[in-house]
């Protein structure tokens, strides 16, 4: 119980953490301890903090109502019976973090369906706890590499052999906190909790065997930011000369200038075949043999935040052993993040675990430690300085790469474009540290982008044009759960439960 008392406030956080006064105060001696205490003492802002959308005129109001209706329609049309595909054709299976984010979208208008999304995601959980990046529930020819290539235990595989950012605990908490059906929701949480816990344990066992507090990804696909320049230096291992010939399907759906190059794809497959040869079931072995082993900011920030939410759920369920275990991960994580800070750049960076070097690229995930609530106040201030400079070079926030980087490409997948899910996380994190103005700017840009370009996979930060897939599920979910919750409420669908959405 003593441990629980150290985290007194798990209520929605209402005060400002940061701002000039708070920053000055934190410059006092014993700063590290104070910073450490900061993440321990405060709960984070609610996942989907919303303010009122001031509709400037009738036209905008009706546009937003239209987008809300269309978002529900996109989720319904991408529903394959218990799971939602990210986009028809381009991504025909259940993707892990997509599904967890989409569950939050479903939750605002169909709670039962939202729980089902998470249940289906965990239905193919591996015995060792891993939840794979892709669950191949039904056959499809429109995606490569499909189940026949992955070659996990079953043939064809039921899942891919790697994981993706662990968002599920966040959605589970959100759904439990806002439920209209507390008794049923408690049951759902009772069932899901041990599965999510097992997955988080898997991350530490399989991807942090040396107990550094931060986990590795062994494939760029595991980060969710597949084609990020943060992997360029670590993706220079030799391409397997025995790679079987293959035909990419992504290029039949989307223009090649928006997608990874052939060279990059060859390396993705070099890793996949190597893992398959080394036997997917032995993660300890994979950790040792993978020529790609990187501490990624996206997975680690989400895992840290997910641990906080899992801890909150553990408290609701009275699982004190689990609370203590999760607190251990949080404490170690706080230490682990310290070595990802590049003081000169004023940014967090990913780290190549094989060479020990911080990756040079400044990517949007650099701001995700704000979402985790693991950044110190000084770090938050430097991040905000950097982000503000980035935004002088583009019209819309937040590009996936520093626009001043010569590798910046406004349309190529994770090398420049904007993803709404990352905008949501950064905006939520900024609000937590008290940078409301910047948080609002990101939210308003996101509204403008969807007004202008619709529910696209990602957006050009210079022109605001939509790119990649169309009728994209997680973009729709962001409109419902984050951007337009009050529009959802206005047109008659809403989650019940606590009404303090404004916190």
Question: Whole-number minimum distance, CB 203 to ligand GLC, in Å?
Answer: 17
Structural tokens at position 420: 């709404």
Q: Alpha-carbon distance 52 to 444, whole Å?
A: 11
- With H, G, I as helix, E, B as strand and everything else as coil, classify residue 91: strand
Q: Alpha-carbon distance 428 to 54, whole Å?
A: 19
Q: How many CB atoms lie within 10 A of CB 346?
A: 18
Q: How far, in Å, are 221, 230, 235, 237 from residue 267 at the CA level?
A: 11, 15, 7, 8
Question: Whole-number minimum distance, CB 302 to ligand GLC, in Å?
Answer: 12
Q: How far, in Å, are 167, 260, 291, 445 from residue 119 at the CA level?
A: 14, 32, 34, 33
Cα 361 from chain centroid (whole Å):
19
Question: Whole-number minimum distance, CB 216 to ligand GLC, in Å?
Answer: 17
What length does the chain have? Answer: 503
Of 226, 233, 360, 448, catalytic: 226
| Residue whose pair of structure tokens reads 């669908």 in the numeric block | 493
Q: Judged by CB, which is closer to ligand GLC: 42, or 412?
A: 412
Structural tokens at position 158: 């039921």
Q: Judged by CB, which is closer to ligand GLC: 109, or 268?
A: 268
Contact 374, 39 (CB under 8 A): yes
Backbone angles phi, psi at 79, to 5 degrees: -75, 125
What's the Rg (C-alpha) of the chain?
Answer: 21
For the four alpha carbons of 304, 309, 314 and 320, in that order, the dihedral sign comes to positive
Which alpha helices (H) appear in 139-249, and where do they start and end? 147-150, 168-177, 182-207, 220-223
Of 309, 352, 457, 460, catalytic: 457
Question: Whole-number minimum distance, CB 297 to ligand GLC, in Å?
Answer: 14
Backbone angles phi, psi at 361, to 5 degrees: -65, 135
Question: Whole-number minimum distance, CB 12 to ligand GLC, in Å?
Answer: 29
Question: Whole-number minimum distance, CB 92 to ligand GLC, in Å?
Answer: 10
**What are the residues binding ligand GLC (CB under 6 A)?**
86, 91, 95, 97-98, 224, 226
Question: Whole-number minimum distance, CB 473 to ligand GLC, in Å?
Answer: 8
Question: Whole-number minimum distance, CB 226 to ligand GLC, in Å?
Answer: 4
Q: Judged by CB, which is closer to ligand GLC: 39, or 91?
A: 91
Q: Judged by CB, which is closer to ligand GLC: 133, or 152?
A: 133
Backbone angles phi, psi at 246, to 5 degrees: -145, 160
Structural tokens at position 250: 């992504």
Cα 219 from chain centroid (whole Å):
16
Structural tokens at position 90: 């381009």
Q: Judged by CB, which is closer to ligand GLC: 226, or 436?
A: 226
Structural tokens at position 307: 């641990």
CA atoms within a 13 Å half-sphere pointing along the CA-CB vector of 345: 18
User: 377, 381, 375: which is closest to 337 by C-alpha?
Assistant: 375
Q: Judged by CB, which is closer to ligand GLC: 204, or 472?
A: 472
Q: Judged by CB, which is closer to ligand GLC: 98, or 327?
A: 98
Q: Judged by CB, which is closer to ligand GLC: 145, or 283?
A: 145
Contact 225, 400 (CB under 8 A): yes
Backbone angles phi, psi at 384, to 5 degrees: -65, -40
342 is catalytic: no
Backbone angles phi, psi at 344, to 5 degrees: -65, -45
Question: Whole-number minimum distance, CB 423 to ligand GLC, in Å?
Answer: 14
Q: Alpha-carbon distance 167 to 224, whole Å?
A: 11
User: 169, 147, 168, 166: which is closest to 280 by C-alpha?
Assistant: 147
457 is catalytic: yes
Q: Judged by CB, which is closer to ligand GLC: 219, or 349?
A: 219
- Catalytic residue numbers read 226, 457
């Amino acid at each position: 119980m003593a441990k629980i008392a150290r985290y007194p406030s798990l209520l929605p956080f209402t005060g400002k953490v940061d701002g000039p006064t708070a920053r000055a105060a934190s410059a006092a001696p014993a700063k590290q301890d104070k910073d450490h205490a900061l993440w321990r003492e405060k709960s984070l802002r609610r996942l989907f903090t919303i303010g009122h959308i001031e509709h400037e005129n009738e036209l905008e109001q009706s546009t937003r109502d239209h987008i809300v209706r269309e978002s529900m329609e996109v989720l319904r049309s991408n529903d394959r019976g218990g799971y939602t595909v990210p986009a028809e054709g381009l991504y025909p299976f259940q993707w892990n973090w997509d599904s967890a984010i989409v569950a939050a979208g479903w939750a605002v208008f169909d709670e039962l369906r939202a729980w089902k999304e998470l249940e289906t995601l965990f239905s193919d959980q591996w015995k060792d706890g891993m939840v794979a990046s892709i669950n191949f529930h039904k056959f499809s020819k429109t995606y490569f590499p499909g189940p026949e290539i992955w070659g996990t235990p079953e043939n064809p595989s039921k899942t891919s052999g790697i994981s993706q950012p662990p968002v599920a605990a966040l959605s589970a908490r959100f759904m439990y906190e806002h439920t209209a059906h507390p008794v049923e929701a408690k049951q759902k949480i009772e069932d899901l909790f041990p599965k999510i816990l097992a997955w988080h344990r898997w991350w530490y066992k399989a991807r942090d065997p040396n107990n550094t507090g931060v986990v590795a990804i062994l494939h760029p696909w595991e980060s969710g930011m597949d084609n990020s320049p943060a992997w360029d230096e670590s993706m220079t291992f030799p391409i397997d000369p025995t790679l079987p010939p293959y035909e990419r399907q992504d290029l039949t759906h989307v223009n090649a200038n928006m997608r990874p190059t052939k060279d990059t794809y060859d390396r993705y497959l070099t890793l996949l075949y190597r893992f398959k040869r080394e036997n997917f079931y032995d993660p300890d072995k994979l950790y040792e043999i993978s020529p790609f082993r990187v501490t990624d900011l996206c997975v680690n920030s989400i895992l840290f935040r997910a641990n906080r939410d899992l801890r909150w759920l553990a408290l609701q369920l009275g699982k004190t052993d689990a609370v203590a275990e999760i607190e251990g991960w949080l404490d170690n994580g706080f230490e682990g993040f310290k070595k990802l800070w590049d003081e000169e750049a004023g940014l967090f960076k990913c780290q190549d675990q094989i060479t020990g070097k911080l990756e040079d690229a400044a990517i949007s995930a650099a701001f995700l430690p704000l979402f985790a609530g693991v950044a110190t106040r000084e770090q938050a201030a430097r991040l905000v300085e950097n982000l503000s400079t980035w935004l002088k070079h583009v019209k819309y926030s937040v590009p996936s790469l520093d626009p001043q980087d010569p590798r910046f490409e406004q349309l190529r997948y994770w090398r420049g474009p904007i993803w709404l899910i990352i905008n949501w996380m950064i905006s939520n994190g900024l609000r937590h540290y008290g940078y409301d103005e910047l948080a609002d700017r990101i939210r308003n840009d996101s509204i403008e982008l969807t007004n202008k370009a619709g529910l696209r996979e990602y957006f050009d930060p210079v022109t605001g044009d939509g790119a990649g897939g169309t009728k994209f599920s997680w973009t729709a979910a962001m409109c419902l759960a984050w951007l337009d919750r009050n529009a959802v409420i206005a047109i008659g669908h809403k989650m019940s439960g606590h009404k303090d959405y404004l916190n």
